[in-house]
Chains A and B, each alone.
Chain A
Amino acid sequence: MILASLLNSYPRIGDRPAEQVLRRAIQRADRGEVPASGVSAAEEEMIGLAIAEQAAADMDLLTDGQIRWHDPVSHVARGLAGFRLEGLLRYFDTNTYYRQPAATGPIGRERPLLIDAYRLAAVAAAPRPVKAIITGPLTIARLSRDARRRGLRDLTLQISCALNREILDLEAAGAALIQIDEPALARFPGDADMLRQALRRMVSGSTSSRILLATSFGDPTPLLPALAGMPAALFGIDVTAALGREDADAAGFGSRLVDSFAADAGFALGVVDGRNTRLENADEIYERRVRPILSVLRPPAGGPGREVHLVTNHGLEFLPRDTARAKLAILAALRDRARREFL
């Protein structure tokens, strides 16, 4: 199975007036001209637009674009007991910010965080499937301030226990694929053992859904053996970062994937750059990145094929909307060529 999908986020604004309803609604709410429900309605409108654009680009698996998320850290932490939100910090090496949570007490889930948003997106996207997305415990712990001073490990494990209920609720809401985003892992590869333990707690009791563990913000190559031991069915790999600008030895990287992971492991391969406006030539990318890797991942004759998602290596909210749409078109073209050759 070869699918095309964006990794997680999608622009929540564009240059056309219809793409600016959310910004205007928030501005009006700030001025007290509309109630908070007006913002919520605008968010739903932009989620609908994000889903419609993904469908129009023929993505196989959609996301809600994370339109409601102010940032990947505080959006989850604000729903957890034991956290207080503090000042702004830059989010990795981007020119975007996140509001830093401070862990001040025992961590627990106060209420469902993402369930309503998942249901809304699933209805809007039907019949196309939607993947649920949640930020992982290591990233939240690493990007938080531990005011309790009980250590990173304790915080990470407490977050994972709190998020376990969210995973089970997402599953009950019908999420067949749940993506756990762990961008911090590439920055802190020494945390891999701790993350494995945390993820086991986080997905404990899950039966019907599959987990996609997504990395980003760094070359995943040194992480491959550790990733292979994580409790996930699919692994998000930033191929663009792994191969570098010269697309060095894509076939060799494919072999490393085969050597590192179980035979039934699936991959979300980040083959299109979600952080640069430069539009890749689909034919060139296919020849230099996609074909060499898929040739190695190709199943033996008669065997079941691995599940491969061709994705952007980052969410697309870092790009202008017109460029984001163009990147989706590139993904669709890559997927179509890959299907013709490998299915």
Chain B
Amino acid sequence: MSDASSAGTRPSQERLLPADLRLPLSTIGSFPKPDRLKQARAGFARGVLDAEELRRIEREETAACLRLQESLGLDLLVDGEMYRGDMTAYFAENIEGFRISGLVRSYGNRYYRKPIVSGPVRWPRPVTVDWFRFALEHTHLPVKAILTGPYTMMDWSFDEHYGSREALAMALAEVIHQEAAALVEAGARYVQIDEPAVSVRPDEIDLAIRAMGTVTAGLGARTITHICYGDFPAIYPRLLDLPVDQFTLELSNSDLGLLELFKTSPFTKELGAGVLDVHSHKVEPVELVRERIAAALAVVPASRLFVNPDCGLKTRTPEEAEAKLKSMIQATREVRRSL
């Protein structure tokens, strides 16, 4: 068992959550970018800020994000993705075979630069490992590494090269496995492979499972996947065959509807229960979050339950994100006392 409070004195490879910790608190990955970072990114895009200066600001904000998570009381930290734009575009910018398109809409007033696969995809070098090491150096707590999964990278890119969804997904799986292995080599003991697109095409769940199998094969780490906003009834319980240890899922957006689904067939893996709606400005009262945790506990035992927001927090303002997390942490502590 690792003692998180003294983990900083140990080699990073041993940085684990305490084995007796119930309802570990974590997040999905992204945090809101502060205004100064947004301005810096815009300045860099316009060519008025150089890469080194942008990197300096990204480092400062990443360190601040880690401090915030520690001070709030989260157990399993993330680096906050201050250096990433969109979850697919970031990796596409750093993997061979991609180019980046113009802006396309995601929802409402949110846009992203959708990647285009224009040649064979290859892993040129570690993409996120330096940031993972940076995070480890700035906290004593365990850090979760976050990657975008091969099925989602495939589904959310324009394919001008492979002409086969399967061929592209499996090629990407090899690439992402290499990145995941490099993270584990650097000390990652929790690796989350985000696959929000998995719930969109039920007829391709087998492909998603095979691709995830390639990514997680032989990884010496706890593996997690995050899936959200999709047609879960169409893929449950087959979903549980994705070869990972934990699923972080959005429960609040669906008004806990997913928990009803999990009553139809046992949820056999760890569940990271989404207890904060990241698409709402409203800060959930502690009591509401407590009720959501209690509802999750009715489906998954405390030994297999983690607590987190529905999805990445980058959709919220820094103030909203912090207030929501405080509510989540307070509620979790209260539930822990009742266990």
Q: Provided the pairs A12-B105, A320-B114 are in contact, do residues A95 and B155 lie with their beta carbons within 8 angstroms?
A: yes
CB <8 Å contact, A277 and B160:
yes
Shortest Cβ gap from B280 to chain A (Å):
9
CB <8 Å contact, B279 and A88:
yes
Determine if A245 is an interface residue (Cβ-Cβ < 8 Å).
Answer: yes
CB <8 Å contact, B104 and A93:
no
Contacts of A322 in B (CB 8 A): 102
Give the distance in Å from the alpha carbon of A269 to the alpha carbon of B338 in the complex: 63
Give the distance in Å from the alpha carbon of A70 to the alpha carbon of B279 in the complex: 14
Residue in contact with B253 in the complex, picked from A14, A88, A95, CB distance below 8 Å: A88
Determine if A340 is an interface residue (Cβ-Cβ < 8 Å).
Answer: no
Shortest Cβ gap from A241 to chain B (Å):
14
Determine if B156 is an interface residue (Cβ-Cβ < 8 Å).
Answer: yes
- CB interface residues, B 48-92, toward A, < 8 Å: none
CB <8 Å contact, B105 and A13:
yes
- CB interface residues, B 138-167, toward A, < 8 Å: 155-156, 158-160, 163
Determine if B106 is an interface residue (Cβ-Cβ < 8 Å).
Answer: yes
- CB interface residues, A 7-39, toward B, < 8 Å: 11-15, 22-23, 26-27, 30
CB <8 Å contact, B103 and A14:
yes
Contacts of B111 in A (CB 8 A): 13, 23
Q: Provided the pairs A23-B109, A96-B107 are in contact, do residues A90 and B156 lie with their beta carbons within 8 angstroms?
A: no
Give the distance in Å from the alpha carbon of A30 to the alpha carbon of B201 in the complex: 34
Contacts of A94 in B (CB 8 A): 200
Closest residue on chain A to residue B253 by CB atoms = A87
CB <8 Å contact, A320 and B102:
yes
- Total contacting residues, chain B, CB less than 8 A: 31
Residue in contact with B201 in the complex, picked from A13, A93, A98, A319, CB distance below 8 Å: A93
Give the distance in Å from the alpha carbon of A71 to the alpha carbon of B229 in the complex: 15
Determine if A321 is an interface residue (Cβ-Cβ < 8 Å).
Answer: yes
Give the distance in Å from the alpha carbon of A322 to the alpha carbon of B254 in the complex: 36
CB <8 Å contact, B229 and A320:
no
Give the distance in Å from the alpha carbon of A278 to the alpha carbon of B116 in the complex: 9
Residue in contact with A97 in the complex, picked from B114, B155, B229, CB distance below 8 Å: B229
- CB interface residues, B 90-144, toward A, < 8 Å: 101-109, 111, 113-114, 116
Give the distance in Å from the alpha carbon of A276 to the alpha carbon of B231 in the complex: 23
Determine if A261 is an interface residue (Cβ-Cβ < 8 Å).
Answer: no
Q: Provided the pairs A93-B201, A96-B107, A278-B160 are in contact, do residues A87 and B102 lie with their beta carbons within 8 angstroms?
A: no
Give the distance in Å from the alpha carbon of A232 to the alpha carbon of B148 in the complex: 44
Determine if B287 is an interface residue (Cβ-Cβ < 8 Å).
Answer: no
Give the distance in Å from the alpha carbon of A115 to the alpha carbon of B188 in the complex: 57
Shortest Cβ gap from A201 to chain B (Å):
28
Determine if B197 is an interface residue (Cβ-Cβ < 8 Å).
Answer: yes
- CB interface residues, A 167-224, toward B, < 8 Å: none
Besides the known contacts A13-B104, A89-B230, 5 further A-B residue pairs in the complex with CB atoms under 8 A apart: A14-B103, A92-B200, A277-B158, A321-B102, A322-B102
A-B contacts, 9 of them at CB < 8 A, read A13-B103, A13-B105, A87-B254, A90-B230, A95-B155, A276-B159, A277-B101, A319-B104, A320-B104
